[in-house]
Amino acid sequence: MQLEDGRMVVVVRLLGPAGAAYARLRVDTGDDISLLSPAVLAATGAAPVAVARIVGVDGVPVQAPVYRIDMDVGPGLGVIRQAEVVGYPLTDSHWDGLFGDNLLRRCVLVRSGPSGTWSLQVVEAEPSPPSAHRRLAAALGAVAVLAGATLALAALRVET
């Protein structure tokens, strides 16, 4: 998990019939769908399963192929099975795609503005093998979430 120019970026491993390919995806909480570069999808051997009509920021509707592919978000963080993505090139971008809300609904996303950190954990998936670093980070994240919940409960009790 990285922050690039204040934007959350996740490197995923796409698992297709012809093999694996890596992609750098910008996490986009305001986008309903996830987009992936057609070149990256082609490297995995994935085939389109449908066609979607999407509308970009320019307001022009286009037809684009839809793929379902397994997406490993990192050691110990999980694999999203049959992740639905639209094959569409991002022009003028140094990312391979967008990790949109349709995939975020299958994950827990925690971002700490004050510390400038964030984490992503797949909740509806088969976990990939965790590394010692990831296990420690997950444990620390859980402690931070529990501490925040305790403070919120304390504040709630004070108000009532």
Shared domain for 45 and 122, answered yes or no, is yes
CATH number of the domain where residue 94 is located: 2.40.70.10
Shared domain for 115 and 155, answered yes or no, is no
Shared domain for 114 and 141, answered yes or no, is no
Does residue 159 surpass a pLDDT of 60? Answer: no
- Do the Cβ atoms of 144 and 112 come closer than 8 Å? yes
- Residue 70 to residue 79: CA distance in whole angstroms: 7
- Residue 115 to residue 149: CA distance in whole angstroms: 17
- Residue 25 to residue 37: CA distance in whole angstroms: 10
Q: Can you read off the two tokens belonging to residue 66?
A: 């839809």
Does residue 25 surpass a pLDDT of 80? Answer: yes
Shared domain for 109 and 64, answered yes or no, is yes
Classify 76 in phi/psi space as left (phi over 0), alpha (psi -120 to 50) or beta. Answer: left
Rounded percentage of the chain residues whose pLDDT exceeds 90:
52
Model pLDDT, residue 58 = 82
The number of domains in the chain is: 2
Model pLDDT, residue 114 = 82
Q: Can you read off the two tokens belonging to residue 149?
A: 């919940």
Shared domain for 139 and 123, answered yes or no, is no
Model pLDDT, residue 13 = 97
Residue pLDDT, tens place only, 109-149: 998 888 878 888 999 754 444 555 445 555 555 444 444 54
Shared domain for 21 and 86, answered yes or no, is yes
Please give the DSSP secondary-structure letter assigned to residue 32.
Answer: S
Shared domain for 60 and 40, answered yes or no, is yes
Q: Using a cut of 0.85, tell me whether the model's pTM lies above it.
A: no
Higher per-residue pLDDT: 159 or 79: 79
Range of the domain at 148: 130-160
Shared domain for 97 and 56, answered yes or no, is yes
Which pairing describes strands 61-72 and 107-112: parallel, antiparallel, or unpaired?
unpaired
Query: In which band, very low, low, confident or very high, does the pLDDT at 155 lie, cut at 50, 70 and 90?
Result: very low
| Amino acid making up residue 88 | Y
